[in-house]
């Protein structure tokens, strides 16, 4: 089976293309990455994650962070494409790589954020994304709820775990 047909990758494409919720793109792909290649920072999924986080930074005006991650994402995804990775099958990866390069040039030039989509070549992936969107699973977020999502989420469980780790060291 094509690993890009996995439900978490389908969610990634839906969030990336439908509502540009790059924070959720990062979340779902990190879960997928942890299932298939935990701690492998050269895995193609890391490139997709980096691309989404780069666009999140760019939209928020963090040009330095965006530039750094766009470059890393492009490098990892180019290696996946050139190496024939199954994580490059089903998408128009050459077009995505061109879009990443153009985004990097725009970021380097200090130009405003401009979203782009990932072109899907595999009809099964395209259909699964469409079905997910039709089902209402991709929320229509706008404004601060989308742009500053990492600051608006409930982090109490993260802070609690961090405090437990600190306490156990003393």
CATH code of residue 50:
1.10.3450.10
**Lowest-confidence pick of 58-67, 110-119, 131-140:** 131-140
**pLDDT tens by residue, 102-133:** 999 999 999 999 999 999 999 999 999 999 99
pLDDT band, residue 155 (cuts 50/70/90):
very low
pLDDT tens per residue, range 66-79:
999 999 999 999 99
Buried b (16+ CB within 10 A) or exposed e, 78-91: bebbeeebebbbbb
Give the range of the structural domain holding residue 113, as residue numbers without chain letter.
Answer: 3-169
DSSP 85-114: -GGGTTB-HHHHHHHHHHHHHHHHTTPPP-
Top-confidence residue, 141 or 104: 104
Cα separation, 135 vs 129, in Å, equals 10
Domain total in the chain? 1
């Amino acid at each position: 089976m094509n690993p890009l047909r996995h439900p978490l990758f389908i969610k990634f494409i839906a969030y990336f293309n439908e509502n540009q919720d790059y924070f959720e793109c990062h979340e779902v792909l990190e879960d997928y990455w942890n299932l298939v290649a935990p701690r492998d920072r050269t895995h193609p999924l890391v490139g997709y994650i980096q691309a989404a986080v780069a666009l999140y930074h760019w939209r928020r005006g963090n040009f330095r962070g965006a530039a750094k991650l766009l470059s890393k994402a492009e490098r990892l995804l180019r290696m996946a494409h050139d190496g024939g990775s199954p994580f490059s099958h089903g998408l128009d990866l050459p077009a995505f790589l061109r879009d990443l390069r153009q985004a990097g040039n725009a970021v380097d030039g200090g130009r405003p954020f401009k979203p782009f989509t990932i072109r899907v070549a595999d009809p099964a992936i395209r259909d699964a994304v469409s079905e997910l969107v039709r089902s209402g699973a991709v929320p229509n977020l706008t404004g601060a709820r989308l742009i500053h999502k990492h600051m608006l989420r409930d982090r109490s469980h993260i802070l609690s775990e961090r405090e437990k780790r600190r306490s156990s060291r003393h």
